Chains A and B, each alone.
Chain A
Amino acid sequence: MNTITNTFSRLRDPRYYQITVLGMLLTYGIFGLDFGIRWQNAVTIFATAQLVQYLGTRLAGLPKFDPLSAVITSLSLTLLLRTDLFVLAAVAATLAIGSKFLLRYNDKHIFNPANFALVTLMLLSDSAWVSSGQWGNATLVAFGLACLGSIVLTRAKRAETTIAFILVYGALVFGRALYLDDPLSIPLHQVQNGALLIFAFFMISDPRTTPNTPLGRTLFATLVAVIAFTIQFIYYQPNGPILALIMACPAVPLIDALLRGSNYRWDQPAGAKPGPFKGVY
């Protein structure tokens, strides 16, 4: 009986769903869309992430080693990071997991780990990039992604971040089309971008970096959407959403200070009992 309860409570952890969905996307990307992801990079990212997670656990004196979050970060990095140099793949994994242990405020990560690593590498090296066009813009793919993503969100009870981001970004993109008197096929094409949807469902929604209250998360998502739109359509630079997230993250402590709420715990997604918080990285 105890085992069943344990298994059940473990399955409540939304990270299992997230790993499944990201794993499916990675499989689709490699075999269906021919992303040309180098297996050496993937292995390097996974191995380095687990190693740094282990070292971090030991150095921070945490009670137990938890590989799940590092697996998710590794999947995100493998999906998004493109580089010909596997050394950079190792650096990315180290930066991502390292940032969780070192860049903290009020017991939360300041940056989304994968996002932090991607942006740092893109800024510091010419040899790392993100291919935002790689998912294409097929409506069907968009629909599939949205459905899969929603499963993860309902498990994590953090849907408002994604919904607010998509609504605000969508409104800005459609508003721009109305102002320019462009045909609606243009904004539709823009919001159906696969990379944008993956960002909305799997990166911005990370409960460990977003504000603690629903109102806070909505504000945060709005901020990210406005910055992303500015980068993409006023400065005409690629990777608007990814850059916007890292720019908006420092605002989270401020939003939390204004709107109080309890920190997220992976093992209590419903946030029922905000028990003593320690050791969940």
Chain B
Amino acid sequence: MRILAIFSAAVATVVLATTAQAFCGFYVAKADTSLFNEASQVVLVRDGDRTVITMANDFDGDVEDFAVVIPVPTRIEREQINVGDRAIVEHLDAYTAPRLVEYHDPDPCMAYRRYEMSQDSMLPSSVAEDELRKSARSRGVTIEASYTVGEYDILILSAEESSGLVRWLNDNDYKLPRGAKPVIDSYLKQDMRFFVAKVNLEEQSKLGYQYLRPLQVAYESNRFMLPIRLGTLNAKGKQELYVYALTRTGRVETTNYRTVKMPSNFDVPEFVQEEFAPFYRAMFDNQVAEHNDRAVFLEYAWDMAWCDPCAADPLSTEELQKLGVYWAGDGGKGGMAQDVFVTRLHVRYDSEHFPEDLMFQETGDRQNYQGRYVIRHPWKGEAKCDISDYQAQVRERQEREAQQLASVTGWDVEDIRRKIPFPDGTTPKEPWWQRIWG
């Protein structure tokens, strides 16, 4: 038996590429450039009230005109903001991504002999500050702190009302997305605070980064939530968001929306190997529609110490610590990550179907779940015996796979059948009634 786990980060990228993205903050620009995120991924580390959030955005646009306004459920200080490493978020994405598994049928003529099983799994995947202050104060907004972190200029604002913040942004030539003001107002009344991150071009070229690194914030709050209401403001239609929760006890779920498991662990036709991204995207579209656009989907729930099959190796203790899992490695064996449970949630949202922010809870559920799709290759070697029975079985199995694929993706079953190499000389088994009326 040969197991091959195939996944590349490209899958997630392809899945994401069609939809305009944004994340829990919103973008402001100085020009009328369109600001869209290509991929929004949020890592949420939570232990009691302690939270570390990492926001990775694949921002596409002119960096010079770019600033992002991010709400935080509590007041924060300078030391609580950090710039993270994008590679770690990509690693976490790869580790938790849906996976394709391959099996090869043994020679049907040697059905009673067992092969030595070799198992090769695990494909590794791999400011003129004073002026700013002055203008800010006159607008009823206080810049509590302003400093540079990595390639970002960070401003922590303590606006008492949104008009102050809004005017300040306007004064600095930032264009606010429509509808931002009432949401900012509502958040401020709920004691949430904002910070603004702008790219410091000088620092960026000094550091040599071609892309924006993820921003990280560590805070303590009784709210286990992700503000998504501002995320819809830059939006053209629906937003796509991945949340990776890293906790101690167990699986994380939403308390104000349904959390639904993606269909998993079924056989798919061989051609899905070439079309894994379109397959997964079609299935996701189909599931979203089936749950009336109102569900959050579980794509992975697993103890971080292992995986089976592995789409990528589990994250190292060091990587986990950089994401904010401060307890990683405490009492662990041999440097292995211990006591970390990862939950991957995938949500496609708009303000109509997701009017409220996402509220989470950590459950005691430690049952493993993964998106796992199986390809069983029929035996293609030279037959040294009569294999008609085996071929009939293969034909039946392929037909089942076609039906299943059609039902989860909404694809036309006839199109699917055309792509399946049914064994020669076998005919599809038609239901008996089809022969009566043709």
Contacts and interface: CB of A to CB of B under 8 A. Distances in A.
Given A126-B249, A186-B355, A190-B356, A181 B361 contact: no
Interface stretch (B83-91, B184-192, B377-385): B184-192
Main secondary structure of the interface of A (DSSP, over half): loop
B256 A190 contact: yes
B419 interface: no
B250 interface: yes
B288 to A, nearest CB: 13
Given A133-B253, A136-B294, A125 B364 contact: yes
Interface in B268-324: 291-292, 294-295
A182 B364 contact: no
Contacts of B223: 236
Interface stretch (B63-71, B257-265, B397-405): B257-265
B77 interface: no
B359 A84 contact: no
A180 to B, nearest CB: 4
Nearest to A121: B364
A185 B292 CA distance: 16
Given A137-B294, A180-B189, A236-B223, A193 B256 contact: yes
A179 B189 contact: yes
B255 interface: yes
Contacts of B295: 136
B222 interface: yes
A57 interface: no
B355 A133 contact: no
A235 B355 CA distance: 20
A136 B292 CA distance: 10
A56 interface: no
Contact of A238 (B257, B351, B361, B364): B361
Interface residues of A, number: 35
B18 interface: no
A132 interface: yes
Given A84-B367, A189-B355, A190-B356, A137 B257 contact: yes
A183 interface: yes
Contacts of B351: 183, 185
B266 to A, nearest CB: 15
Given A136-B294, A183-B355, A237-B222, A129 B258 contact: no
Interface in A231-256: 235-239
Given A136-B295, A180-B189, A185 B255 contact: no
A9 interface: no
Q: How large is the interface on B (under 10, 10 to 19, 20 to 34, 35 or more residues)?
A: 35 or more
Given A133-B254, A133-B256, A134-B258, A185 B364 contact: no
B255 A132 contact: yes
Interface in A127-166: 127-129, 131-138
A123 to B, nearest CB: 12
Given A132-B255, A133-B254, A237-B222, A181 B182 contact: yes
Contact of B365 (A84, A134, A183, A236): A84
A82 interface: yes
A83 B249 CA distance: 13
Interface in A172-230: 179-183, 185-186, 188-190, 193
A133 B222 contact: no
Contacts of A183: 351, 355
Contact of A131 (B355, B356, B363): B363
Contact of A129 (B190, B259, B363): B363
Contact of B256 (A127, A179, A182, A189): A189
B366 interface: yes
A249 to B, nearest CB: 23
Contacts of B291: 136
A131 B225 CA distance: 16
Nearest to B183: A182
B257 A34 contact: no
Contacts of B250: 126-127
A237 B259 CA distance: 18
B186 A129 contact: no
B406 to A, nearest CB: 20
Nearest to A127: B364
Nearest to B225: A236
**A131, A133, A134: most-surrounded residue (chain B CB, <10 A):** A133
Given A126-B249, A133-B256, A181 B356 contact: no
A129 B222 contact: no
B352 interface: yes
B189 A84 contact: no
B367 A238 contact: no
A186 B355 CA distance: 5
Contacts of B182: 181-182
**B256, B292, B356, B365: most-surrounded residue (chain A CB, <10 A):** B256
A181 B367 contact: no
B222 A235 contact: yes
Contacts of B225: 236
Given A126-B250, A181-B182, A133 B259 contact: yes
Contacts of A134: 258-259
A180 B356 CA distance: 13
B356 A129 contact: no
A182 to B, nearest CB: 5
A185 B232 CA distance: 15
A238 B190 contact: no
B342 to A, nearest CB: 17
23 contacts: A34-B260, A82-B365, A84-B365, A126-B364, A129-B361, A129-B365, A131-B253, A131-B255, A131-B363, A133-B254, A133-B255, A133-B256, A136-B258, A137-B257, A137-B294, A180-B185, A181-B185, A181-B186, A182-B186, A183-B351, A189-B256, A189-B355, A238-B361
Interface of A: 33-34, 36, 82-84, 125-129, 131-138, 179-183, 185-186, 188-190, 193, 235-239
Given A125-B364, A136-B291, 20 more contacts: A34-B261, A126-B249, A126-B250, A127-B250, A129-B363, A132-B361, A133-B258, A134-B258, A136-B294, A137-B256, A137-B257, A137-B258, A181-B182, A185-B355, A189-B355, A190-B256, A190-B356, A235-B222, A236-B225, A237-B222
